[in-house]
Amino acid sequence: MSTFLAVDFGAGSGRVIAGRVSGGQLGLDELHRFPNRQVRLGGHVYWDFPALFEEMKEGLRRAAAKYADVESIGIDTWGVDYGLVDRAGNLMGNPLCYRDASTADTPEEVFARIDEAAHYAETGIQVMPINTMFQLYARKKENEAWLREARHLLFMPDLFAYYLTGVPGNEYCIASTSELLDARRRTWNMSLIRELGLPEHLFGELLEPGTVRGTLCPEVAAEVGLSPGVKVVAVGSHDTASAVHAVPFRKGKEAVSAFLSSGTWSLLGVALDEPVLTEEARRAGFTNEGGVGGHIRFLQNITGLWILQCLVRQWETRGWRAGYDFLIAEAEQAEDVSSIDVDAPDFKHPADMEKAIADYCRVRGTKVPVTQGEYVRCVLQSLAERYRMGIQQMNALLPRPVECLHVIGGGCRNRLLNRLTEEATGIPVLAGPVEATAIGNLLVQAEACGKIKNKNEIQIII
């Protein structure tokens, strides 16, 4: 037996999960769960990287205390955000959070210099102000000298791995979220990087999922109680890449199955062998991100359960009843509710989400929700309608229409949303696995360490 550790950082929380493969099955053991907070400081919004690193080490300590056979560690996080490391190996400040407002107007500035359609035909990435390309362009305007002093640009999973091993490198899946790769060649788009005036030396070796990044630094190993020989494996380091690796897709070349990674964000798409870089795909808001095993995740980034999560936090602050079981039951009884555009700017980061929904409906002359159940039903029904639109747009770009939808991640527990989605799309909705990200992460490690011999064995385990 060997134990593999998946370190999974989400935008709201993180956890360390142990996995053990035996007899065609994967056992999971959650060892440590911890919050992830965004910190507003001096006009910017940051991630507290040192605190997150310490929480990860606590998870590794618990693993060392429970399992004597830890073989490797794999790390996945959300996309686009990064840290800078100087030539001495020091972190140059806490990483900025993608919800920082400093990049809001940057796309307009960038596309005054380069053609947006031609850019998409190379990168295949949906334009969003949060993307790394725009973050870096904004930092260059703010302090170009500081950016040039950096030695390595490391995306969040790369950064955690660097301080575990001392070895820099950029995993392909997470790097693909940057909007700085050539989608066809799957390499850094150096002509674009030069055009934007970004320091070329920041962009390091691209690592495929399954590559061993290195082993634990002796000092880290001693601190957490693990062997210095424990490997750190580059998994599908973007959490959605790991999650999609764990989807039990239908077999056969003729079957077209879509995935919906359901959480704070909704990632709706299909796994393809090659990117789709047409103008139609760009206008429909599709992105081409790297996947495990050479796949392209052709998907749309949709606002997911973020709106509902904000409502729940507000109601909890007021002392109202806000458990999900209660709210879903109330929503099932609600009728004749309005719909909202879940991707509208109104719902990105309002001070009061309930008021934002009410104002949105009032301005458009539609029924304003009154009860908690009506608010929840409005959000879930609107998400289902957005998924229907996304699948219709996908069908217009694929050779064959999507025949079923796999919902994975924590959102697949929401039975009402699953039912509304099935009714809206008219195709079967299959729920699970809930722990898709951890499963995909662990399976890449097990294969890299030789404990899984072939792809068929992976499908049997899933």
Calpha distance 451→443 (Å, rounded): 9
**For residue 433, cis peptide bond before it (omega within 30 degrees of 0):** yes
Contact 92, 156 (CB under 8 A): no
> Structure tokens of 208?
């495929």
* Active-site hit among 239, 336, 346, 359: 239
Calpha distance 25→5 (Å, rounded): 16
Residues 6+ apart with CB under 8 A from 340: 347, 357, 360, 361, 378, 379, 382
Contact 428, 404 (CB under 8 A): yes
Mapped onto helix, strand or coil, the DSSP state of residue 216 is coil
Closest residue by Cα to residue 342 from 409, 404, 389: 389
Catalytic site residue 48? no
Calpha distance 225→61 (Å, rounded): 6
**Alpha helix segments (H runs only) across 89-149:** 106-110, 116-123, 132-149
Calpha distance 183→272 (Å, rounded): 13
Give the rounded distance of the alpha carbon of 325 from its chain centre: 26
Residue-level length of the chain: 462
Residues 6+ apart with CB under 8 A from 261: 240, 243, 244, 267, 408, 409, 436
Active site residues: 239
